[in-house]
Amino acid sequence: MSRLVHSSAAYLRTLQISKAQLFVFVEDGLQKRFHDRVIANELKKSVKYEVRAAKELPNGIGGKIGIIDLYKKLRKGASLQGEKFGKKFSCFFFLDKDVDDLNGKRLRSPHVLYTPTYDIEGLLLQCGDLAKAVADALGTAEAEAEVWLGQNFIQFNVEQWKEWTALCIISQLKKKNTGATFARPSAINCGPNGTVSATQLNQMKSALKNALGFTSEKFEALYSRYLKTVIRDIGKGQPLAHFKGKWFSNILQQHALNHPPSLGNTNSLGDKVMVALLGQVGHGATCQYSAQYAPALRGLTMTLAHKSI
């Protein structure tokens, strides 16, 4: 059955007549579940809200592009917030940052908030308890999960993949796909410890250099610039700022193959860990996830909590 598609004006009317006051738009199903938990934890039922994924939008575009398209249409019509039928309402858009901070494409609006990490999976890893999530996924003790992961598991792997990340950043910024893209795990890291293959790295660099039409000197300067960006992220304690969090599903699965845990089923381990991390959102007296968004949410909902006159 085909989905009913509304015009922008008709879709706006559905928002206005809804009982909800806050409308949150996100890219996909994982973000929908994540932000529903965060908002519920932060607002404590003070404001009625709805979280809608891109695939539910009227433009039929989907994903990040679909969310941005709706934002621009509502902004053009001065409809990001307002009052209709005796109800105040406001719209809020959550987006994965990707590399928008490097290419100057970030939208500047109190109605738009980006993840501080490359993607939502990175935020789950940054704010969550990875050892606890692994223990839940494997059905083992948390202490055993900590031993299996080793020290600084996230930082160690980001450091191992820093060359690959730099290549992916260049590929995305320059819109040149020669094999090094955020859409796939590293093609240059191999072996039980994920070390870089110099041969494969040079092949990838050469292919990207040729696609860009750069001299060796010009390409090396560009590559060095973004390699330093990744290294700086690690030094600042923000290793996932430009590292794709989704890659950790593959990294965890590979770690399980190279270092089989003594207990637990490792099938689809990476996906199970992400689900376990999602389960941590909104729990505890001080939810680290909520802290990322609390100021922006409070600013938008302050007036919504009061009835219209």
pLDDT digits 0-9 by tens, 136-187: 999 999 999 999 999 999 999 999 999 999 999 999 999 999 999 999 999 9
Region of poorest pLDDT, from 78-87, 92-101, 247-256: 78-87
Categorize the per-residue pLDDT at 4 as very low, low, confident or very high, splitting at 50, 70 and 90. Answer: very low
Q: What count of Cα atoms within 13 Å lies in the side-chain half-sphere of residue 152? A: 10
Q: Is 154 helix (H, G, I), strand (E, B) or coil?
A: helix
* Nearest Cα residue to 275 out of 149, 128, 153, 141: 128
Residues β-bridged to residue 112: 93
* Nearest Cα residue to 304 out of 11, 146, 81, 77: 81
Say if residues 75 and 108 touch (Cβ distance below 8 Å): no
How does DSSP classify residue 3? P
Burial letters 132-159, b for 16+ CB under 10 A, else e = bbbbbbbebeeebbbebbeeebbebbbb
| 24-46 average pLDDT score | 85
* Nearest Cα residue to 162 out of 146, 180, 150, 142: 180
CATH classification code of 8-120+286-301: 3.40.50
* Nearest Cα residue to 194 out of 236, 146, 153, 226: 153
Tokens of 144: 């055993």
* pLDDT at residue 19, rounded to an integer: 86
Given a cut of 90, whether residue 296 has pLDDT beyond it is no
Match 């939502």 to its residue by tokens: 120
Residue that wins the pLDDT comparison between 1 and 192: 192
User: What CA–CA distances, in Å, run from 283 to 38, 120, 302?
Assistant: 9, 18, 23
Residue that wins the pLDDT comparison between 145 and 288: 145
Given a cut of 50, whether residue 49 has pLDDT beyond it is yes
Residues β-bridged to residue 88: 83
| 198-208 average pLDDT score | 97
What is the pLDDT of the chain when averaged over all its residues? Answer: 88
Tokens of 21: 């006051």
Residues 298 and 39: their CA atoms lie apart, in Å, by: 10
Residues 200 and 66: their CA atoms lie apart, in Å, by: 36
Residues 69 and 5: their CA atoms lie apart, in Å, by: 15
* pLDDT at residue 290, rounded to an integer: 64
Residue that wins the pLDDT comparison between 10 and 258: 258
* pLDDT at residue 171, rounded to an integer: 98
Given a cut of 80, whether residue 117 has pLDDT beyond it is yes
User: What CA–CA distances, in Å, run from 219 to 36, 196, 222, 278?
Assistant: 43, 19, 5, 39
Given a cut of 50, whether residue 309 has pLDDT beyond it is no
What are the boundaries of each domain within the chain? 8-120+286-301, 122-279
- Give the tens place of pLDDT for each residue, 67-80: 999 999 999 989 89
Say if residues 73 and 66 touch (Cβ distance below 8 Å): no
